[in-house]
Amino acid sequence: MHVALIKYTPDPELTIAVAARLCYSSIEAPRIMEKMSEGQIESLLKQLLASGHLSPFEHANFTFAIGGISRACSHQLVRHRLASFSQQSQRYVSFKKLPYVVPPTVEQKPALKEKFEEAVEAAHRVYADLLAAGIPAEDARFVLPNAAGTNLVMTMNARELMHVCSLRLCPKAQWEILQLFSAIKKEVEKVAPRIAARLQPKCMQLGYCDERESCGIMPTRAEMNL
């Protein structure tokens, strides 16, 4: 898996703070930007997060290049609709070599890993035979497994990123998408550490787990008698 932050709103935390301050200011955004100190940005972002006033976070966008994830993972990822995705097409790209992802549980069992790889490689051979017989790639791809690797570009604003991380950074999330958003958080930390600090499982914000069973970070509502 490879994750790189390739584009983002310049000074994302300043942009958010200026947008929020504008709502209650008689002066225009450029003048607010000139006057705002690091301490004011820090204080205002904390206030916004504490009050749940999250719309200003929509003004900061982050674009990630994501490579080497499985189609099983990308199918989960694109369910988050407040984002933009451009994904490598199995319709227009023919795969002479098929990159694929082996789950860690399979990696730990050599005999099963061998069978897993044989199955993926057999599917790829059938795929190659279909292409050689003149079957269009858009039809030949039907035989490819969920393990098939894919690359994509994803753009998401800070508000949606916080929401998605509240779900996908939970230890109970599926391992690959948990790994993906852990890597995304590390990329955001490089340019917006205050925002990155808020990329965390929702139980860390709620103070309890709202699932039936807790992963152990926080007790459930029932366990807290809420």
Over residues 48-52, the mean pLDDT reads: 93
The residue whose two tokens read 């994302």 is 12
Give the model's confidence band at 132: pLDDT under 50 very low, under 70 low, under 90 confident, else very high. very high
Q: What percent of the chain has pLDDT over 90?
A: 84
Name the pLDDT band for 107 (thresholds 50, 70, 90): very high
Strands 61-70 and 149-157, how do they pair? antiparallel
Q: What are the tens digits of pLDDT across the range 81-100?
A: 999 999 999 999 999 999 99
- Measure the CA–CA gap between 135 and 147, rounded to whole angstroms: 22
Q: Which helix (H) or strand (E) holds 8?
A: strand 2-8
Q: Are the beta carbons of 181 and 69 closer than 8 angstroms?
A: no
Would the pTM count as exceeding 0.85?
A: yes
Residue 120: pLDDT band (50, 70, 90) is very high
Here the tokens at position 32 are: 């607010």
pLDDT per residue as tens digits for the range 173-199: 999 999 999 999 999 999 999 999 999
* Average pLDDT rounded to a whole number, residues 113-141: 97
pLDDT attached to residue 130: 97
Instruction: Please give the mean pLDDT across all residues of the chain.
Output: 95
DSSP string, 138-194: HHHGGG--TTBEEEEEEEEEHHHHHHHHHHHTSTTS-HHHHHHHHHHHHHHHTT-HH
- pLDDT band for 143, please (50, 70, 90 cuts): very high
Active-site residue set: 168
